[in-house]
Structure 1
Amino acid sequence: MLSWGYIAFVAITRKFSKGDRAPISLIWKYFRKAFFSLLLLVIVVGGIVAGIFTATEASAIAVLYAAVLALIYGDVKPKDFSSILLTSAKTTAVVMFLICTSMAMSWLFSFEGIPELISSFLLEQFSNKIVIFLVINLVLLIIGTFMDMTPAVLIFTPIFLPVVVALGMDPVHFGIVLVLNLCIGLCTPPVGTILFVGSGVANVSVSQVIKPLIPFLVIMVVVLLLITYIPAISMYLPRLLGL
């Protein structure tokens, strides 16, 4: 909602033009045309939630489904697949390089015992849980800038979880805070994988993307602090479901 508010503010201050309101008949017409494309979201999310396939398998199914639709709609010709695969390989190579370097960094962290040092430092230096939560968020935000989400979760969850549980934080609440921290890291340089993928898809440099992204990063940090210190925001649905 904060992001929507910022987008509305920019649209108003920069006086973006408004289009004519589309009639219901036109909306229904294009909805029918886009139905099978929109069905992709249902297949991916529904398959993951139902446990039919994993998130990784869902991405492969999504690519296959989208390729078939593109052929049916005539947006892509069979001869175009070679250039599409080459472009995808270039983008994937950048992402895989970033993941490999972050994995190497995670091994170095574990070998040097840095997570344990961070945990002991928190418990020894701070007694106020508000400050400890703030420091944990700061550490995770920094870690997220140069380490991929998977190794970061594997390394820091067993380190920080006992600390926050001892301070009275619900494990589900901590999981939400942890994931949001690392999701912010996916959008921040120097190893923001989503940042590189987005710039690759838009065919622009990363430096061109960073400046317009700063307000959204600030908004995400504000949301992170709200979720951290007001558990009811993130725990309403889990408690409703009895988690």
Structure 2
Amino acid sequence: MLYLPLEELSLLLGSENILLKSSDFGGSWEQIEGAIETPFMKINSLDEEKVIISSYYEVYLSFNGGNSFENFSFDTLRPNQQPIYNCFFANENEFYIIGKNSLFYRFIISENRFEKINIAGLNHDLLSFFIINNVGFIVGTNGLIMRNETITSTNEIPNLNSSTRIYPNPTSNYINIEFYEYSTYDVKVFNLQKMVKSQIFEGRSATISLENLNSGVYFVLIKSNKGVCVKKVIKL
């Protein structure tokens, strides 16, 4: 399993109960010792701090980028011990758990409680999920696909990734960045080994010189109070 929380282009890689973390886009890795004792199945992250991992029967939540985890056990809510197949964040205050025999729970972080979601007539195994434009889709057995426009948090402001434009790309000298709205933006440029540029901009646009950088692939990490996004740039 591989997940990209997007802080300094960090990566989380999991296998069984081994958790690895990279802060240089995979150039080097460190193992997070003793984070989770049991084999786990899925990793999901809302941002660079909140990480959720599910094992077959347990759920673990980290508020510090995976350095330590808290076990969220909810066995009393599922006496039949249905296996967990997937877990995912809907917003910064809620994550969902899906699994065998229509297992479907919401956890509200601020209230520290699980809430069972009942859907009349549903008796499928719930396997996976994806989100498009704040609409959640859950995929189950026998061709089941559930669509829910309230499973994710709604926001009338466009997603930072889709509303940010970088040009020219490819480029030989510089890049222009156009943002959706006036704000403060933390912009960092990485190659595959390390960060090579870091600047703070205030406004709706920015220009960054790449003139002194070698030709190749670079990643531009943009952070604001609206979120985080990563754009790939080719330097000629």
TM bin (shorter chain): under 0.3
**Higher normalized strand content (fraction of residues):** 2
TM-score normalised by length of structure 2? 0.19
Specify the structure having the higher radius of gyration (Cα).
1
